[in-house]
Amino acid sequence: MGESERGESAPRQRVSYWCANGHESRPSFALDAERPESWDCPRCGLPAGLDEKEPPKAPRNEPYKTHLAYVKERRSDADGEAILAEALAKLRARREG
């Protein structure tokens, strides 16, 4: 369907958003639409805000943790040795039985 068949589009306004890297994004919104407080920067992906002087801070990225790292956070070495000993005892009992 062409634009002439849809009728006229709503009046628009461009709104400036700035990210922590200083990039400016200018999406357009209908005049009567509520503009969001933040917008994802299309250049770097960081959140962008309406205040050029105080853009949103870049989110803190946690380094990738392996499953073992998460387990070590929850279990002490003694707990790990006890669980291992229990699992080995079950395996040995299954092999003998």
Query: Tokens 């634009």 sit at which residue?
Result: 3
Paired tokens of 45: 């992906």
Half-sphere exposure of 18 (CA within 13 A, CB side): 9
Confidence of residue 37 (pLDDT cuts 50, 70, 90): very high
Does a structural domain hold residue 31? Answer: yes
Confidence of residue 61 (pLDDT cuts 50, 70, 90): confident
Confidence of residue 96 (pLDDT cuts 50, 70, 90): confident
Does a structural domain hold residue 76? Answer: yes
Does a structural domain hold residue 71? Answer: yes
Residue positions in the annotated binding site? 19, 23, 41, 44
Residue positions in the annotated binding site for Zn(2+)? 19, 23, 41, 44
Q: Which of 64, 8, 44 is nearest to 19 (CA)?
A: 44
CATH code: domain of residue 39: 2.20.28.270
Q: pLDDT at position 3, please?
A: 56
Q: Is the pLDDT of residue 1 over 60?
A: no
| Dist. CA 96–CA 90, nearest whole Å | 10
Q: pLDDT at position 7, please?
A: 73
End-to-end CA, the chain: 74
- Print the domain residue range for 22: 12-49
Q: Is the pLDDT of residue 2 over 70?
A: no
